[in-house]
Amino acid sequence: MIPSPTTTRSRPLSPNVQIYRPQLTSVLSILNRITGIFLSACAVVLVVWLVAAACGPQAYAPVQAAIASWIGRIVLFGATFAFFLHLCGGIRHLVWDTVHGFELRSIYISGWSVVGASVVLTVAAWVAGALMGG
Amino acid sequence: MRTPLARAIGLGSAKEGVGAWWAERVSAVALVPLTLWLAASIVAHTGSDYATFIVWLRTPLTAILMILLLIALFHHTALGLQVVIEDYVHSGAKFAAVIAVRLGCCAFAIAGVVATLRIAFSG
């Protein structure tokens, strides 16, 4: 069947992420957004934690137990890394807002610095937590 | 009789974007020290029991920083999620989603502030 000229076809949109080779710049941009969404959920958990604490030890105990469980710790570890990635990525964005660091070389240096700093800070936070008796 | 183009020329943008853009940066700058303080405090309280945690939250400095954090955090969250919604949702659900995010962030911020104050002012 010959399609009529008036037939609307869904055409591919650009950039087509399926065939686009991932770059540090694009991956960090997407990660900044994904971590932001994930940290929004973490902000809600912070409020649940505070409200439970305000309600008393009976309400606080199950919330504390959920955070201290294995699933809770895995999520908390992910939240720690997401937090540091969003924080370091955010500082990188604030530097860009002052119209500095836009040269390709600077962008890759700052990008890998964000990745490195996030890994180091996440490990440091958990080592410090373990030393505190977690 | 004016064409749609004639009506649009010279108007520029809606001129309300700068406010949201600026607020996102200001809240981000505030959140750098505040979230680092929270992260350090949580690490320092690893393994603490309920009583120790409440004693910490009850100190005036902790309560003030926690309230500042909650306000900056949910302001930043609302602005950030709104941008995400506006980028991906193009149907009528966009307005419903943006309103839901704004109301939700406002409600969670107030709940967090009230909980903090209740702990701070409890016996």
A96-127, pLDDT tens digit by residue? 999 999 999 999 999 999 999 999 999 999 99
Angle formed at CA B63 by CA B62 and CA B68, multiple of 5 degrees: 100
Q: Which residues of B touch A83 (CB under 8 A)?
A: 35, 39
CATH T-level fold of A24-131 = 3 helical TM bundles of succinate and fumarate reductases (1.20.1300)
Q: Quick one: pLDDT at residue B122?
A: 86
Tell me which residue has tokens 């839901």.
Answer: B100
pLDDT tens per residue across span A38-82: 999 999 999 999 999 999 999 999 999 998 899 999 999 999 999
Cα–Cα distance measured from residue A83 to residue A131, given in angstroms and rounded to the nearest whole number: 21
B46 vs B71: which has the higher pLDDT:
B71
Q: Considering chain A, what percentage of its residues have pLDDT values greater than 90?
A: 79
Q: Which residues of B touch A87 (CB under 8 A)?
A: 32, 35-36
Locate the domains of chain A by residue range: 24-131
CB contact under 8 A, B46 and A57: no
The full DSSP string for A22-70 is P-HHHHHHHHHHHHHHHHHHHHHHHHHHHHHHHH-HHHHHHHHHHHHSH
A94 touches chain B (CB under 8 A): yes
- Helix A104-131 to helix A70-97 angle, to the nearest 10 degrees? 150
Cα–Cα distance measured from residue B59 to residue B117, given in angstroms and rounded to the nearest whole number: 11
B112 touches chain A (CB under 8 A): yes
**What domains, with CATH codes, occur in chain B?**
19-121 (1.20.1300.10)
Question: Over the range B15-52, which residues count as b (16 or more CB within 10 Å of their CB) and which as e?
Answer: eeeeeeeeebeebbebbeebbebbbeebbebbebeeee
- pLDDT of B63 over the 70 cut: yes
B29 touches chain A (CB under 8 A): yes
pTM (2 d.p.) = 0.87
